[in-house]
Amino acid sequence: MHTVVVGTSGVTASDVLAVARGGARIELSEEAVAALAAARGIVDALAAKPEPVYGVSTGFGALATRHISPELRAQLQRNIVRSHAAGMGPRVEREVVRALMFLRLKTVCSGHTGVRPEVAQTMADVLNAGIVPVVHEYGSLGCSGDLAPLSHCALTLMGEGDAEGPDGVVRPAGELLAEHGIAPVELREKEGLALLNGTDGMLGMLVMALADLETLYKSADVTAALSLEALLGTDKVLAPELHAIRPHPGQGASAANMLAVLKGSELTGHHQDDAPRVQDAYSVRCAPQVAGAGRDTLAHARTVAERELASAVDNPVVLRDGRVESNGNFHGAPVAYVLDFLAIAAADLGSIAERRTDRLLDKNRSHGLPPFLADDAGVDSGLMIAQYTQAALVSEMKRLAVPASADSIPSSAMQEDHVSMGWSAARKLRTAVDNLTRIVAIELYAATRAIELRTGLVPAPASQAVIDAVRAAGVQGPGPDRFLSPDLAAADAFVRGGHVVAAVEPVTGPLA
C-alpha cells in the first residue's frame, strides 16, 4: 500500500487524494517529530509562567479574558472539544473526513501548533486503522477553522463519540480505538484548540473538486466536439490562430482538445449544405470560450489550494523564535472565494452543455436529425425527458452558484463578527460537481446517438472510439423507446470514471 510521509512541509494535492480516496498509510518523518517536540517545549515553558497566554492558560473566543489555573487546563481542553462537537444533519462522506483529518495532521506536524508528538502519532494511527469519525453536514462557519467538523474528529482521538470502522459500521469510538490497540489521547495545554483551528475541511473538498473537475473539463471538451459533429458544424472556429489572438490559456486548450477529437471527421464542414448557415450557434461556436474560462478558474483555484497546503493554520501559533502569537490565519476567505468561483464556472459549463443537447433534439435546429432523436417520433418520445432531467440539474446548479462567501453571520458574542462560510461553499461545490457529471453524461448520450443516426458520413476516429467504448459500457444506441434511466446511469458512470478521456487519448494523444 502507498505510504505518505508527513514532514514539517511539502504535503501535495496528490498526497491528500492518496489518503482521502486511496487509503494510503501515513508515517511521520523524524523532522516532524523533532519539530513537534521543540514547539511543545515552548508551550510547556509558557504554561509554567504566571502570565496568561491565549489558548494555553486562558479561555477561548469571547471567553478569552479568563485566566485558567493549571489544575483546570486539561479539563479546559477536553471541554472545548466536547462543546464544539455540535454538528447536526447528514453524515459527511468518508473521503472528506479522511482529508480533513490528514490536513489537520499536516498542520500539526509543521511544528507551529505546540501539539505533542504522541497526539500527532495517534492521529496517524486512527487514519491508518481506517477509523473515520462521524462528522455532520452543519456546524462550520469557515472561520476559527472548520470548528464543529474538526471537533468531532478530535472527539474520536479522545475515545468519545461515534466513528465508522473499516467495515463501514458506526460504533462508539472508544471501542474502535481499543480494537486497534490505540490509546485515547489525554489533551494538555493548547492541544484541544490546535486540533480545531483549521481550514482543513474546506481545503480537502477543494483539492478533491479540483481533481474531479480537471477530468470533467476534458470530458466536456470531448462531448462538445461530438455535439458539433452531430450538428454538422464547422471546426474552422477551433483553428489555433483564432484563439491565439485572444490568448486565454484555457480557451486555447479547450479548442485544441476539440480540434483533436474532430480530426478526420466527415461530418464537420457541412454547415453550407441543404440549409446554409453562416455560423454555428453560440453553444457550439463558443464552447472553447466558456469551457476555457472555467479552466482558467481552475488554474487560479489550484494556486490557492497549493498556497493553503503550504500553510500552517492555527491560532495562536508557535514561531521559530519561541514566541506564541495570535493571528487571523484561520479565516477561510481565500479558500471560500475559489470554491464559489468554481461553482459559478461549473454552472455555466453545465448550462452550455444543456443548450447543445436541446439543439440536438429539436428537428428545427438539428439539421436533419429526427425529433428528439426518436426511432418513430410520435410513437416514440426519444430523449425528450432526458433533456428535462438535464435542465433540472442545470437549474439546481444555478442555485448552487449563488456564493456562500458573500454571506456572514456573526458568532461568539460578536468576537467572531465576520466569517467566510467556506465550508458551506465547499459542500455546495461537491453537489455542483456531482450534477455537472450527470449533465455531461446526458450530452454524451445524446451526441453519440445523434452521430450514429447520421448514416452515410463517417465520424472522426476519436469520436468513433468514444461511441465504441460507451456502447461496450452498456449504454445502448438508437432504437425504440425503452426504460431510459439505466442508460443514463451507465453514461454517468462512464463519465464519472474518466472513461471519456481514456477512450479518446489513444487516438488524439494526451488532452490538454
Which residues are marked as active site? 54
Residues pairing with 164 in the sheet = 132, 170
Distance CA 153, CA 379 (A): 57
Q: Is the dihedral of CA 503, 506, 510, 512 positive or negative?
A: negative
Other residues' Cβ atoms within 10 Å of the Cβ of residue 429: 29
Distance CA 301, CA 293 (A): 12
User: For residues 32-67, b (16+ Cβ closer than 10 Å) or e, as one string?
Assistant: bbebbeebbebbeebbeeeeebbbbbbbbeeeeeee
Distance CA 70, CA 56 (A): 10
Query: Would you state the cell numbers that stand for residue 39, as one nine-digit string?
Result: 514547539
- Extended strands (E) in 96-243: 132-133, 136-138, 162-164, 170-172
CB 332 within 8 A of CB 344: no
CB 352 within 8 A of CB 441: no
Please choose, from the candidates 182, 170, 174, the residue with its C-alpha nearest in 3D space to the C-alpha of residue 135.
Answer: 170
Q: Which helix (H) or strand (E) holds 325?
A: strand 324-325
- Angle formed at CA 224 by CA 257 and CA 439, multiple of 5 degrees: 125
